[in-house]
Structure 1
Amino acid sequence: MKIALFGYGKMGKMIEQIALNRNHTIVAKVDVDTVDIDFSEMDVAIDFSMPSAAYGNITKCFEHGVPVICGTTGWLDKYDEAVALCKAKNGAFIYASNFSLGVNVFFELNRYLATMMKNLDQYKVSMEEIHHTQKLDEPSGTAITLAEGIIDNTEYKGWKLEEAGDMEIPITSKRVGATPGTHSIDYSSTVDSIEIKHTAHNREGFALGAVTAAEWIVGKTGIFTMKDVLNLE
């Protein structure tokens, strides 16, 4: 498979190594200063670029018939536009706030637990996410996805950093050392607590998930999620 990398930072380099180990070929490494891009060589594009660049990268790929795997966060105000263009061009697209295979199982566990807790008013939910000090956005895109999973299946109406109001999920964000990513969800009452937690030991899981998604999407058309890739429906 011929892969183009949009964004060649730490994640791009890790994706490159995993792709090469799985006998794929990297045909382009597109960064902020890249001018000439040959889309004709690409079977699939994997975007882990900057929020300011992601939408442009994605739409250019769709215009040239290249399927896109996108893990860049912070650009989702244009997500619906990207989806509309993908459909118009009969393209293929997967966006995920986190491509880790374990995290995507965790997303489904979170949603299932939320449905069970929905009518247990004595429990109040809270969330905590911990990442490395170089991560600029807070809360993380993964934490927001987890919060949305709870909101979709309970009476909660939204989320808020730190102190939240009634029917809002409080999220605590911490930036500690080189922490790859830890997310925990806690339901607490006066008598006990229920907690689920995912801890990433390194960033390789994110890269492996992105390459796995790229392998899966080639030859398909439509808008997909990691649930489709992992058959978690």
Structure 2
Amino acid sequence: MRVALLGYGKMGKALHKTLEEQGHTIGFIHETQDVIEVSDSLLSCDVAIEFTGPENAVQNLTICAEQGLPVVSGTTGWLDQWSEVQAEQEKHQAKILYGSNFSLGVQLFLEAAKNLAQFMKDRSDFKLHLEETHHLEKKDTPSGTAISLFHALQQGDSSLKKWSLANKKTDDTTPIKASREQGVIGNHQAIWDGAIDYIKLEHHAKSRQGFVQGAIDSAKWLIQKQEPGLYSVRDVLGLT
């Protein structure tokens, strides 16, 4: 497949390397996190993979939708504008796929969290909190995966109403402690803390390769998908 890379940071460079190793062609590279400009080289591509930034992600997805270019988005921090992207997808009958995390391991972790939350929902003697740690360059806090983790837990325990950062916790929120440390790819934990013991479910990313391969597999899936739609990585993995 011929791929447009929108954003050329750590993920963009890793995608470039792996795509070429797997015999795919890079038809367009947008090296900054700014809004993309439409060009013949962009439109020659079969699919775009977008890792720009939360400031311009929605506008970049809109441009792809307007041009009929299927796009896989891995940028987080823009979900408060989800309805705008949904409207653009419907207006242009576009193919858009979003994932807060494309790692298969993370998606299985989210499924496990949902199932464990079902068992723990009536255990008032345990208090739930979430923790996430990422590298210093991570822009959004908490991470998109931490928010996805909370939503997965909500599916198992409907008493969970909303999340908050740990330093802004109220009685009706589930706290998320977000830390930034040098060299950390991405760690996420759901912790049920009781008086005599605690239960911890966690995922640690050893490298970005799981994210990279998941994004590539999602791009292949989106190209082959005939129907326009707003999809998620869970659709790719058959977890919906």
What TM-score do the two structures reach when normalised by structure 1?
Answer: 0.94
Runs of 4+ in 1 over 3 A off after TM superposition: 31-36
Aligned partner letter, 2:69: V
The corresponding residue for 2:163 is 159
Kept in 1: contact 2:114–2:154 (CA 8 A): no
Give the residue type in structure 2 aligned to 1:7: G
Please give the alpha-carbon distance, in whole angstroms, between the structure 1 residues aligned to 2:69 and 2:139. 29
- Residue from 50, 58, 73 that aligns with 1:55: 58
Tell me if the contact between 1:45 and 1:66 (Cα under 8 Å) persists in the aligned partners.
yes
Name the CA distance, whole Å, in 2 between partners of 1:184 and 1:201.
Answer: 15
Show the counterpart of 1:99. Answer: 102
Is the contact made by 1:28 and 1:37 (CA closer than 8 Å) also made in structure 2?
no
Structure 1 residue 138 displacement after superposition: 1.5
Provide the C-alpha distance between the structure 2 equivalents of 1:122 and 1:167, rounded to a whole number of angstroms.
16
Moved more, 37-46 or 7-16: 37-46
Indicate yes or no: 2:177 matched with 1:177: no
How far did residue 70 of structure 1 move?
A: 0.3
Q: Mean alpha-carbon deviation: is it higher for 71-80 or for 3-12?
A: 71-80
State which of 62, 65, 70 in structure 1 corresponds to 2:68: 65
Matching residue of 2:153: 150
Distance 1:24 1:107, change over 3 A: same
Partner Cα separation in structure 2 for residue 170 and residue 36 of structure 1:
42
- Give % identity: 39
Cα distance, 1:35 vs. partner? 4.3
> 1:121 aligns to what SS in structure 2?
coil
Show the counterpart of 2:128. 125
- Using the TM superposition, give the Cα deviation of residue 201 of structure 1 relative to its aligned residue in structure 2, in angstroms: 0.6
- Who is 2:9 aligned against? 9
Unaligned 5+ runs, structure 2: none
Match of residue 37, structure 1, among 32, 36, 39: 39
Amino acid at match of 1:161: L
Q: What's the offset of the Cα at 1:157? A: 1.4
Instruction: Please state whether the residue corresponding to 2:56 is helix, strand or coil.
Output: helix
The equivalent residue for 1:76 is: 79
Equivalent residue letter for 1:24: H
Residue 218 of structure 1 aligns to a residue whose secondary structure is helix
Residue 24 (1) aligns with residue 24 (2): yes
Contact 1:129 1:184 (C-alpha < 8 Å) held by counterparts: yes
Q: Is the 8 A contact 1:30 1:37 kept in 2?
A: no
CA distance in 2, matches of 1:68, 1:132: 26
Which residue is 1:189 aligned to?
Answer: 194
| Secondary structure at 1:51 match in 2 | coil
Q: State the partner residue of 1:230.
A: 237
Q: Distance in 2 between matches of 1:35 and 1:92?
A: 19
What is the SS of the residue equivalent to 2:217?
helix
